[in-house]
């Protein structure tokens, strides 16, 4: 017989141990149905074919992305989704490629691997020109090249070393990486990185004015090239394909080479202007630099034809499964629909878009009736600075600068985002929202055999969940295996259907469907963090401030940014 334990001692022990997490009311029979449909009758690879091979690339402002949206809307309507529509927002000048070829002509003929930068002007037909290397780092360097560049193709960078293909080219999370993901990092001190900085106030992505000196210098440089009569500018890309955007993970690696091209983007805000701009494979670029260093004359042929689309409109593509008794509340599955122009945008981000489309198809095909409305949102303009999701949040939920919120803000039960390639989901970045840990732990338990085990506490940035987090909504990015995303496909000419991993994208869609269903069925919306403070000097209207105070849930954690 076990000894009797005093009630006081039991209560004291319980208090020391802390509160017991509320049990989630999970319907395991329905979860089993979702897993069966998602894993055994997936249609995601067909969706990916249409979004990539048929309608890629999907550059915002181009005819291709609108055609892709038309197809997605027809398809989701055929699946039985409701309220299928586009929501448009102002974008500016669009761009599309008509024709591109480049050849080394002298000293020997060689086809050049490369790709024009989006929003570059064209050559209006084939041109052959001498190639020269310039070293212009500051305004004082302009004078030394004045009168020497007319009719030339200009190389703007030095050669770069090309390393062997070795090391973790296919990046999967080992035990050490998993432990790192589950820790809260203490960020290094950065000058000017306070709450009032431009990037933090706008949700973690810097606007064009954040690095004015560098951007203004590049604009002046392009104007000098145009004034001097330069035929075209060739570069070999940055030293890392993620240099301009960065990764949320500390185990970032340099990209591979081997003919993979990571083109930049010309200044779309001044398009059409400047001179033709092309990024070449580093191996081909380096050859020309070495020839010139040995005083061997170099000629190249370029044929670049483009089309500009004035007053192009950006848009988001939306569809829903209507809810039941809590239909006025919404669970949102989101991914950015747009891509860069260098390939068909398979891993960035047709994979995420197709997975979220497939997630709602799974739920709809089973005839399930969610309590809350489940909405899929395919964003435009992510590559230009989260433009689509920002516009959507501003139109429906509130202003991230002033924190003046709208009534719909209270209706968002949760937002989940996919935007890190073709790799399977390993867990969720909690975005500093500690109150969701016991909830997500229970949701993930039936998914453990699919590899979903990681709860990362940190706030991650640079994709569309940030737009929701910036106004205090519970927005989350899934943790994904990176595979070749950093090393080969991100913003490269190799971001094509063949780099997609069938089993992994099937897993993505199935896991997203389970998360959407659980969020739609629980009694309460997901808990929220404390609302971010307004940017300095910003105040909402009195009525908007009252809405914000009345509808904001209790704080559970401060807002941080990784």
Task: Give CA–CA dist 129/120, Å, rounded.
Answer: 18
Reading the block at residue 207, the tokens are 């606007």
DSSP 557: S
Do the beta carbons of residue 516 and residue 371 sit within 8 Å?
A: no
Do the beta carbons of residue 86 and residue 316 sit within 8 Å?
A: yes
Do the beta carbons of residue 100 and residue 63 sit within 8 Å?
A: no
DSSP 446: G
Task: Give CA–CA dist 486/170, Å, rounded.
Answer: 9
For residue 169, give Cα distances in angstroms to 65, 256, 484. Answer: 30, 7, 6
- Whole-model pTM: value is 0.86
Whether domain 44-93+311-551 has CATH 3.90.1480.20:
no
Q: What is the pLDDT of residue 211?
A: 52
Q: Kind and range of the H or E element at 314? A: strand 299-321
**Domain formed by 96-184+197-307, architecture:** 3-Layer(bba) Sandwich (3.50)
Reading the block at residue 185, the tokens are 């990092």
Q: What is the pLDDT of residue 330?
A: 98
DSSP 473: -
Task: Give CA–CA dist 167/490, Å, rounded.
Answer: 18
Task: Give CA–CA dist 153/311, Å, rounded.
Answer: 31
List the domain boundaries for the chain. 44-93+311-551, 96-184+197-307
Do the beta carbons of residue 450 and residue 39 sit within 8 Å?
A: no
Taking 3-state DSSP, the helix, strand and coil percentages for the chain, each rounded to the nearest 5, stand at 35, 20, 45
Task: Give CA–CA dist 229/150, Å, rounded.
Answer: 4
DSSP 483: B
Return averaged pLDDT per consecutive 10 residues of the chain, 562 residues in all: 40 40 91 98 98 98 98 98 98 97 98 97 96 92 93 95 72 87 81 39 38 78 94 88 38 60 90 95 96 98 98 97 98 98 97 98 98 98 98 98 97 97 97 97 98 96 97 98 90 96 98 98 97 70 30 29 31
Give counts: helices (H), strands (E), the chain.
15, 14
Do the beta carbons of residue 193 and residue 200 sit within 8 Å?
A: yes
The SS3 assignment for 416 reads: strand
Torsion angle of the four alpha carbons 538, 544, 546, 551, in this order, in degrees rounded to the nearest 10: -110
């Amino acid at each position: 017989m076990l000894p009797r334990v005093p009630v006081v001692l039991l209560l004291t022990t319980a208090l020391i141990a802390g509160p017991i997490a509320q049990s989630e009311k999970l319907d395991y029979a329905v979860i089993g149905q979702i897993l069966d449909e998602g894993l055994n009758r997936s249609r995601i690879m067909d969706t990916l074919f249409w979004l990539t091979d048929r309608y890629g690339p999907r550059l915002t402002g181009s005819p291709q992305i609108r055609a892709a949206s038309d197809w997605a809307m027809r398809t989701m309507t055929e699946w039985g989704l409701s309220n299928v529509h586009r929501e448009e927002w102002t974008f500016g000048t669009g761009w599309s490629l008509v024709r591109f070829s480049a050849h080394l002509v002298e000293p020997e003929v060689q086809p050049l691997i490369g790709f024009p930068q989006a929003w570059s002007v064209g050559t209006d037909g084939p041109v052959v020109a001498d190639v020269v290397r310039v070293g212009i780092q500051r305004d004082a360097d302009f004078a030394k090249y004045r009168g020497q560049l007319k009719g030339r193709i200009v190389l703007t960078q030095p050669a770069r070393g090309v390393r062997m293909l070795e090391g973790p080219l296919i990046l999967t999370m080992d035990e050490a990486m998993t432990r790192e993901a589950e820790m809260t990092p203490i960020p290094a001190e950065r000058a000017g990185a306070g709450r009032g900085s431009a990037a933090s106030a706008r949700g973690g992505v810097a606007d064009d004015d954040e690095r004015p000196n560098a951007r203004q210098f590049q604009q002046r440089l392009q104007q000098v090239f145009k004034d001097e009569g330069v035929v075209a500018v060739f570069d070999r890309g940055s030293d890392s394909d993620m240099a301009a955007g960065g990764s949320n993970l500390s185990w970032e690696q340099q990209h591979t080479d081997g003919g993979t091209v990571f083109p930049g983007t010309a200044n779309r805000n001044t398009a059409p202007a400047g001179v033709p701009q092309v990024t070449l494979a580093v191996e081909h670029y380096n050859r020309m630099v070495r020839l010139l260093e040995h005083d061997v004359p170099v000629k190249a042929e370029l044929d670049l034809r483009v089309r500009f689309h004035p007053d192009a409109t950006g848009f988001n593509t939306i569809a829903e499964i209507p809810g039941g008794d809590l239909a006025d509340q919404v669970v949102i599955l989101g991914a950015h629909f747009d891509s860069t122009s260098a390939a068909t945008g398979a891993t960035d981000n047709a994979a995420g878009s197709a997975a979220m489309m497939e997630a709602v198809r799974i739920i709809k095909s089973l005839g399930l009736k969610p309590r809350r409305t489940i909405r899929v949102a395919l964003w435009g303009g992510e590559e230009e600075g989260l433009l689509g999701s920002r516009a959507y949040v501003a139109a429906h939920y509130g202003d991230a600068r002033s924190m003046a919120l709208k009534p719909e803000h209270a209706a968002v039960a949760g937002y989940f985002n996919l935007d890190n390639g073709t790799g399977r989901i390993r867990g969720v970045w909690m975005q500093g929202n500690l109150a969701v840990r016991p909830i997500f732990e229970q949701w993930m338990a039936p998914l453990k055999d699919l590899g979903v085990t990681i709860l990362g506490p940190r706030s991650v940035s640079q994709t569309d969940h940030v737009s929701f987090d910036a106004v205090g909504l519970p927005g989350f990015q899934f943790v994904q295996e990176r595979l070749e995303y950093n090393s080969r496909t991100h913003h490269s000419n190799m971001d094509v259907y063949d780099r997609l991993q069938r089993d992994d994208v099937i897993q993505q869609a199935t896991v997203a469907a389970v998360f959407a269903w659980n969020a739609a069925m629980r009694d309460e919306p997901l808990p929220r963090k404390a609302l971010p403070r307004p940017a300095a000097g910003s105040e909402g209207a009195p009525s908007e401030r009252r809405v914000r105070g009345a509808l904001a849930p209790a704080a559970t954690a401060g807002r941080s940014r990784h």
